């Protein structure tokens, strides 16, 4: 296959994509789960001889889509969305065509400079102060790891990277039980140890209790340990919990501790000013992560980390071996020094296309609709006999259950085998509950109201 063939086949792929998206509503949302059903259809070894692209494409059409869970299906209400707006897909095609690697400014100035402008656009769109800058990572997990590594280095006066942590008093981090498992993963990977991530008690709203945070930090100090940072949750994955950001930041600051806010999902909603009270005080954070690849339409992968001052993170993650030096170019930013990986995709291009093709107003109206429709669906579900709304909508995320765990589990299995909608479960207050989030880019009110409809049908 050469570039002339590519020209033909990429047009063919565009037509295929159009048909794929047009037909999604007729497909079951979740792939039928039969382990081995796909791999069994592939040869055991790579071919020695070249094969014609016709054959490869035909095999793709036959084998792959039946094994895909349709994340762009308008009735995908599981997990969180991974929205891919059409404009974002177009930008990804162009980024793929150039296949540039933006590790340094000079390895493609456009990759770095469009990224810098997109960070500014989004910072302003979310109502964050002008002293925040930032960068794009692959995932919120990487952004949170970067933040925790930076806090570790700040707490050790940048000795950890060089001397290691052996022999040091324990470094302590603080988060609530509502924070995402990526925080647990980050403390493990950063050499902090799971036991040194202190899970702070929450109040009746599942928000971190600032007094409990104060007590935990003081007790650790008294015990000779080193408090190193606080991770706050703005829109938890399980039920959408929000910590009391301003109060908890005040406690952290009184101990001189840096704060990272995980708003991976809910951050997108902050383009709507009416939702910003949920994370009031966030401007006091040192680092904030949010994923435009969840709710904003810039397809996976695209995680934004805002930083009040990038210096400590660059000091932590930036390495300049001689082959990466950019002599005489001290004025440029080399974003690999802000992140864990060296290589970087051109992720800013899909933000540029998405923000322009829909405008902030178009994106806001989608999010507002999702929140309204989630509330309507929750109300309709609550009216069904035997259904309890276990957590009320936080933005567009709520949960419900039937009387017993066995009934709830069995209902969820029937819902997902039915295929018209896709929902997943979580554990809340020790109970098994069904989670509903509304956020797919193309969903309509009718799609959302299919949730109570399907539940009513399957309970009849």
Identify which range of 26-34, 133-141, 273-281, 435-443 contacts ligand PLP by CB under 6 A.
133-141
Taking the CA atoms of 77, 390, 245 and 371 in sequence, report the sign of the dihedral they define. positive
Query: Looking at 77, 132, 206, 265, which residue binds ligand PLP (CB under 6 A)?
Result: 265
Query: Looking at 209, 262, 286, 337, which residue binds ligand PLP (CB under 6 A)?
Result: 262
Nearer to ligand PLP, 265 or 275 (CB): 265
CA atoms within 13 A on the CB side of 400: 25
The least distance separating ligand PLP from the CB of residue 304, rounded to whole angstroms, comes to 11
Query: Looking at 89, 119, 140, 349, which residue binds ligand PLP (CB under 6 A)?
Result: 140
The least distance separating ligand PLP from the CB of residue 263, rounded to whole angstroms, comes to 7
Query: Looking at 114, 122, 257, 303, which residue binds ligand PLP (CB under 6 A)?
Result: 303
**Is 425 in a helix, a strand, or coil?**
strand
Query: Looking at 187, 264, 270, 438, which residue binds ligand PLP (CB under 6 A)?
Result: 264
Interface with ligand PLP, residue 291, by CB under 6 A? yes
Nearer to ligand PLP, 247 or 262 (CB): 262
Structure tokens at 441: 């880019």
Structure tokens at 257: 């501790």
* Torsion angle defined by CA atoms of residues 190, 195, 198 and 202, in that order, rounded to the nearest 10 degrees: 120
Structure tokens at 343: 């290589």
Largest CA distance in the chain: 73
The least distance separating ligand PLP from the CB of residue 257, rounded to whole angstroms, comes to 20
Nearer to ligand PLP, 180 or 420 (CB): 180
Identify which range of 146-154, 258-266, 406-414, 431-439 contacts ligand PLP by CB under 6 A.
258-266
Query: Looking at 154, 176, 207, 237, which residue binds ligand PLP (CB under 6 A)?
Result: 237
Q: What are phi and psi of 339, to 5 degrees?
A: -135, 170
- What is the Cα–Cα distance from 118 to 353, expressed in whole angstroms? 10
Query: Looking at 152, 180, 420, 428, which residue binds ligand PLP (CB under 6 A)?
Result: 180
- The DSSP annotation for 292-344 comes to HHHHTS--SS-EEEEES--HHHHHHH----GGG--TT-TTS--GGGGSS-S--
Q: What is the DSSP letter of 173?
A: E
Query: Looking at 76, 77, 80, 441, which residue binds ligand PLP (CB under 6 A)?
Result: 80
Nearer to ligand PLP, 139 or 215 (CB): 139
The least distance separating ligand PLP from the CB of residue 119, rounded to whole angstroms, comes to 17
Measured CA to CA in angstroms, residue 246 lies from 209, 242, 253 at distances of 12, 11, 10
Query: Looking at 108, 139, 375, 405, which residue binds ligand PLP (CB under 6 A)?
Result: 139
Look at the chain and count its residues: 460
The least distance separating ligand PLP from the CB of residue 9, rounded to whole angstroms, comes to 31
Interface with ligand PLP, residue 247, by CB under 6 A? no
Nearer to ligand PLP, 424 or 453 (CB): 424
Interface with ligand PLP, residue 141, by CB under 6 A? yes
Nearer to ligand PLP, 134 or 236 (CB): 236
The least distance separating ligand PLP from the CB of residue 225, rounded to whole angstroms, comes to 26
Specify whether the CB–CB gap between 236 and 387 falls below 8 A.
no
Tell me the number of residues near ligand PLP by CB under 6 A.
14
Structure tokens at 302: 């695209």
Interface with ligand PLP, residue 207, by CB under 6 A? no
Interface with ligand PLP, residue 339, by CB under 6 A? no
The least distance separating ligand PLP from the CB of residue 459, rounded to whole angstroms, comes to 29
Measured CA to CA in angstroms, residue 275 lies from 72, 267, 269, 271, 394 at distances of 25, 10, 7, 8, 10
The least distance separating ligand PLP from the CB of residue 233, rounded to whole angstroms, comes to 7
Structure tokens at 34: 């039969």
Residue 395 backbone zone (phi > 0: left; psi -120 to 50: alpha; other: beta): left
Query: Looking at 112, 182, 207, 390, which residue binds ligand PLP (CB under 6 A)?
Result: 182
CA atoms within 13 A on the CB side of 224: 2
* Torsion angle defined by CA atoms of residues 297, 299, 305 and 311, in that order, rounded to the nearest 10 degrees: -130
Which stretches of the chain bind ligand PLP, using CB under 6 A? Answer: 80, 139-141, 180, 182, 235-237, 262, 264-265, 291, 303
């Amino acid at each position: 296959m050469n570039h002339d063939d590519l020209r033909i086949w990429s047009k063919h792929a565009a037509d295929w994509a159009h048909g794929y998206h047009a037909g999604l509503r007729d497909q079951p949302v979740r792939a039928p789960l039969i382990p081995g059903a796909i791999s069994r259809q592939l040869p055991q070894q790579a071919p020695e001889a070249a094969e014609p692209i016709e054959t490869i494409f035909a095999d793709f059409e036959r084998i792959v889509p039946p094994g895909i869970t349709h994340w762009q299906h308008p009735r995908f209400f599981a997990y969180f969305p991974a929205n891919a707006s059409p404009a974002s897909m177009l930008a990804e095609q162009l980024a793929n065509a150039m296949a540039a690697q933006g590790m340094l400014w000079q390895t493609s100035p456009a990759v770095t400079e469009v990224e810098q402008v997109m960070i500014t656009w989004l910072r302003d769109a979310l109502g964050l102060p002008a002293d925040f800058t930032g960068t794009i990572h692959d995932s919120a997990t990487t952004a949170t790891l970067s933040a925790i590594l930076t806090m570790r280095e700040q707490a050790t006066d940048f000795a950890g990277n060089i001397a290691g942590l052996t022999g040091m008093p324990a470094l302590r981090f603080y988060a609530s039980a509502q924070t995402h498992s990526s925080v647990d993963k980050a403390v493990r990977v950063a050499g902090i140890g799971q036991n040194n991530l202190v899970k702070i008690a929450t109040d009746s709203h599942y928000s971190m209790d600032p007094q409990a945070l104060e007590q935990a930090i003081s007790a650790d100090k008294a015990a000779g340990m080193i408090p190193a940072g606080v991770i706050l949750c703005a829109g938890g994955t399980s039920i959408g919990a929000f910590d009391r950001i301003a109060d908890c930041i005040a406690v952290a600051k009184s101990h001189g501790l840096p704060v990272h806010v995980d708003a991976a999902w809910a951050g997108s909603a902050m383009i709507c000013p009416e939702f910003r009270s949920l994370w009031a005080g966030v401007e006091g954070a040192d680092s904030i992560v949010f994923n435009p690849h969840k709710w904003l339409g810039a397809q996976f992968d695209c995680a934004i980390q805002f930083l009040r001052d990038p210096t400590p993170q660059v000091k932590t993650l930036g390495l300049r071996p001689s082959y990466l030096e950019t002599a005489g170019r001290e004025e440029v930013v080399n974003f690999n020094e802000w992140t864990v990986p060296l290589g970087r995709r051109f992720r800013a291009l899909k933000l540029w296309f998405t923000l322009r093709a829909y405008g902030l107003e178009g994106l806001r109206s989608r999010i507002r609709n999702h929140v309204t429709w989630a509330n309507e669906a929750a109300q309709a579900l609550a009216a069904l006999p035997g259904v309890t709304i276990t957590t009320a909508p936080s933005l567009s995320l709520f949960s419900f259950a039937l009387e017993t765990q066995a009934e709830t589990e069995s209902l969820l299995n029937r819902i997902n085998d039915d295929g018209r909608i896709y929902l997943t479960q979580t554990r809340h207050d020790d109970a098994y509950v069904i989670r509903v989030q509304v956020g797919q880019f193309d969903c309509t009110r009718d799609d959302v109201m299919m949730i109570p409809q399907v539940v009513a049908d399957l309970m009849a």
